[in-house]
Amino acid sequence: MTPPQPLATVIQGSLSRGLEARLNPGVSVEDLRVGKFVVIQGQRNRFFGLLTDVTLETSNPQILVNPPRPEETLLREVLAGTGTYGIIALTPMLMLVPREREEEREYLLTHPDLTETQTAHTIPSQELRPTCAMELLPVKTVPAHFSQVYEARELDFRTVFGWEDDPERRNFAIGQPLDMAVPICLDLDRWVERSNGIFGKSGTGKSFLARLILAGIIRKRAAVNLIFDMHSEYGWEAASEDKHATTVKGLRQLFPGQVQIYTLDPDSTRRRGVRDAQELFIAYNQIEVEDLALLADELNLSEASLENAIILRNEFGRDWISRLLSLSNTEIQEFCEQKMGNKASMMALQRKLTRLDNLKYIRNTLPHNYIGQILDALSRGIHVVIEFGSQSNLLSYMLAANVITRRIHQAYVHQTERYLQSKNPLDKPRQLCITIEEAHRFLNPRAAKQTIFGTIAREMRKYFVTLLVVDQRPSSIDSEVMSQLGTRITALLNDDQDIEAVFTGVAGSQNLKTVLAKLDSKQQALILGHAVPMPVVVQTRPYDQRFYAEIADPDWAQAEDAEVLLAAQQAKFELGL
């Protein structure tokens, strides 16, 4: 193999500000793009980093005063690389250190009487060099002057990001670098340990990114998923942004035996051709005052109305909404006189809560515990997608997501406490990942302190429940919640406040902001955080027929159409088999 040619030479820099490297002769600045993964070969260590900026420089300011004319090609060629040259800004992220050097240093510290000539003969070789092992460490120094900068090769990518078929890790290929066909992998075990976020402005493919990762979690069995599918994009077929295909497969089609769809709008779900979705209803006695506090803006509820709601709950218990809706004006007047309530606020609350009657999934009482049914499916490792159909307005979405999640979180807290007491592995809850869209509605600074989603984001993995938040306005999410997100996958953002919010709690993020602002509007994302060793820009993996064949259940891959399997499963269910 031909040895790689260096791109640039390190000339200055610091650990806090990054490095500057001068392009070597023959290397064009037009061949280098922001976000490129590079390798810097120091005297002892190998550094991995990102290219964060490109600058044009001259050795003499007079060249700029009288630049070569367009027809003076020879003069431009003479100046190139000497009088004019390019500078690239680099941000080192990781360093590959020979492990035996650390061991040798420790041995010498414990044997200070050894001289330099004695060292090579006295130190036991088995203690120093059992293998030529290298280890990746965070960057705590910089390479020396004139270290050479190289384009990263496939081995470098695999050294840092691993490979998908690693038997020791649940790695999932999320995409590849901008200029090389090498997989970039997420460590799914680390991904599900903490809450995570997928951000990007409208039209950048956030839902496709979320669908990719959710499919990887299902395939690798890293966790069980509960997905609040606001626009019916995850469970069954969804519209494709690819001009070569009108629709893309949903998770239920790829994993027919592992994914169950629940619907809050059965008519809409049937019209879309989903045959075996289960209906889901919520009763008034499952709605608490905290749920209404989240909906205060949507329902136009005042603080006085919420205070009267607490009075009603204290008097009537869980059935307080049904009782309120059945009260006449006279009964409300008598109640307020007895319980120190405010008649005007209570009547306003009654009037505004009648909007809940328009939601198709709301019932006065329920003979069946639907949320318990979902919890049972999750405990058996069945992934659950909750479709909203025509009930996808914010009022409907926020109410259902908050009520269901609160009940499930309570069950997980009880199960975790039982597991901590018994220490029995059979009592350990399955790791649960809850996916929500329009996350800023649940996690804005006011709501995050009241909703169950804010509680989950702050608790992280204490109770084996984490969030995957999908949103286009990260600046509207509470900064405390943003700082708790373990991994962030960010497509293009234009708003400065949104870009600033994505890097909340990230040290040395100034250079990464430049990288994020230069992404393409489609199929490109910056990944940073707990599930990757270092920040990296990727061309995201296509969600197409090839992906279906690689990721889906083997039964699906062998069938001509996933609907064949679904029809067979439905027939068995109806026959009681």
What string of DSSP letters covers 468-509?
A: EEEES-GGGS-HHHHHH-SEEEE-----HHHHHHHTTT-TT-
What span, in angstroms and rounded, lies between the C-alpha atoms of 323 and 442? 28
Closest CA to 274 of 257, 250, 255, 258: 250
Burial class (CB in 10 A: 0-12, 13-18, 19+), 254: buried
Residue percentage of the chain with pLDDT more than 90: 25
Report which of residues 195 and 392 the model is more confident about.
Answer: 195
* Strongest mean pLDDT among 144-148, 242-246, 520-524: 144-148
Q: Assign 406 to helix, strand or coil.
A: helix
**Per-residue tokens: 413:** 């807290």
**Per-residue tokens: 110:** 């414990």
Query: What does each C-alpha distance from 118 to 115, 130, 181, 557 come to in angstroms?
Result: 5, 20, 48, 64
Q: What's residue 12's pLDDT?
A: 93
**Mean of pLDDT values over 546-575:** 56
Q: What's residue 547's pLDDT?
A: 87
**Per-residue tokens: 135:** 């280890």
Residue percentage of the chain with pLDDT more than 70: 87
Q: Assign 376 to helix, strand or coil.
A: helix
Q: What's residue 127's pLDDT?
A: 38
Closest CA to 223 of 420, 468, 481, 422: 468
**Per-residue tokens: 514:** 């430049």
What span, in angstroms and rounded, lies between the C-alpha atoms of 356 and 59? 71
User: Does 82 have pLDDT greater than 80?
Assistant: no
* Strongest mean pLDDT among 214-218, 440-444, 452-456: 214-218
Q: Which CATH class is domain 185-281+366-564?
A: alpha beta
pLDDT tens digits, 161-174: 988 888 888 999 99
What span, in angstroms and rounded, lies between the C-alpha atoms of 327 and 390? 30
**Per-residue tokens: 536:** 């990296």
What span, in angstroms and rounded, lies between the C-alpha atoms of 485 and 366? 37
What span, in angstroms and rounded, lies between the C-alpha atoms of 524 and 470? 16
Q: Assign 47 to helix, strand or coil.
A: strand
Question: Which are the contacts of 249, defined by CB distance < 8 A and separation ≥ 6?
Answer: 237, 548, 552, 562
Q: Which residue has the tokens 């879309």?
A: 272
Q: What's residue 577's pLDDT?
A: 37
Q: Assign 412 to helix, strand or coil.
A: helix
First CA to last CA across the chain, in angstroms? Answer: 61
User: Does 427 have pLDDT greater than 60?
Assistant: yes
Q: What's residue 145's pLDDT?
A: 93
Q: What's residue 117's pLDDT?
A: 42
pLDDT tens digits, 498-552: 888 888 877 767 778 888 888 888 888 999 989 999 888 899 998 888 888 888 7
Q: What's residue 196's pLDDT?
A: 93
Measure the CA dihedral 422/407/467/273, to 10°.
120
Q: What's residue 113's pLDDT?
A: 53
pLDDT tens digits, 169-192: 899 999 998 878 889 999 999 999
When mean pLDDT is compared across 82-96, 104-118, 256-270, 275-289, the lowest value belongs to 104-118
Confidence class for position 122, pLDDT limits 50, 70, 90: very low
Under a CB-based contact definition with an 8 Å cutoff, are residues 474 and 497 in contact? no
Composition of the chain by helix, strand, coil, percent to 5: 40, 20, 35
Closest CA to 223 of 469, 429, 463, 454: 429
Element (H, E) at 254: helix 251-254
What span, in angstroms and rounded, lies between the C-alpha atoms of 382 and 379? 7
Question: Which are the contacts of 31, defined by CB distance < 8 A and separation ≥ 6?
Answer: none
Q: What's residue 185's pLDDT?
A: 92
Q: What's residue 546's pLDDT?
A: 87
Measure the CA dihedral 527/530/534/538, to 10°.
-20
pLDDT tens digits, 38-71: 999 998 899 999 998 999 988 888 877 778 888 7
Q: What's residue 217's pLDDT?
A: 94
Element (H, E) at 316: helix 303-316
- What is the gyration radius of the CA atoms in the chain, in angstroms? 29
**Mean of pLDDT values over 415-435:** 90
Closest CA to 262 of 82, 389, 146, 88: 389
Q: What's residue 133's pLDDT?
A: 63
Average pLDDT across the chain, whole number: 83
pTM score, whole prediction = 0.82
pLDDT tens digits, 317-338: 888 888 888 888 888 888 888 8
Sign (positive or negative) of CA dihedral 120, 126, 127, 129: positive
Q: What's residue 73's pLDDT?
A: 79
User: Does 130 have pLDDT greater than 70?
Assistant: no
When mean pLDDT is compared across 344-353, 422-431, 504-513, the lowest value belongs to 504-513
Question: Which are the contacts of 291, defined by CB distance < 8 A and separation ≥ 6?
Answer: 399, 402, 403, 406
User: Does 121 have pLDDT greater than 50?
Assistant: no
Question: Which are the contacts of 334, defined by CB distance < 8 A and separation ≥ 6?
Answer: none
Under a CB-based contact definition with an 8 Å cutoff, are residues 384 and 378 in contact? yes
**Per-residue tokens: 34:** 């922001």
* Strongest mean pLDDT among 7-21, 123-137, 445-459: 7-21
What span, in angstroms and rounded, lies between the C-alpha atoms of 12 and 87? 11
Q: Assign 437 to helix, strand or coil.
A: strand
User: Does 101 have pLDDT greater than 60?
Assistant: no
What span, in angstroms and rounded, lies between the C-alpha atoms of 425 and 249? 36
**Per-residue tokens: 174:** 């999320």
Under a CB-based contact definition with an 8 Å cutoff, are residues 403 and 244 in contact? no
Element (H, E) at 455: helix 452-459
What span, in angstroms and rounded, lies between the C-alpha atoms of 57 and 63? 10
Sign (positive or negative) of CA dihedral 86, 87, 92, 98: positive
User: Does 231 have pLDDT greater than 70?
Assistant: yes
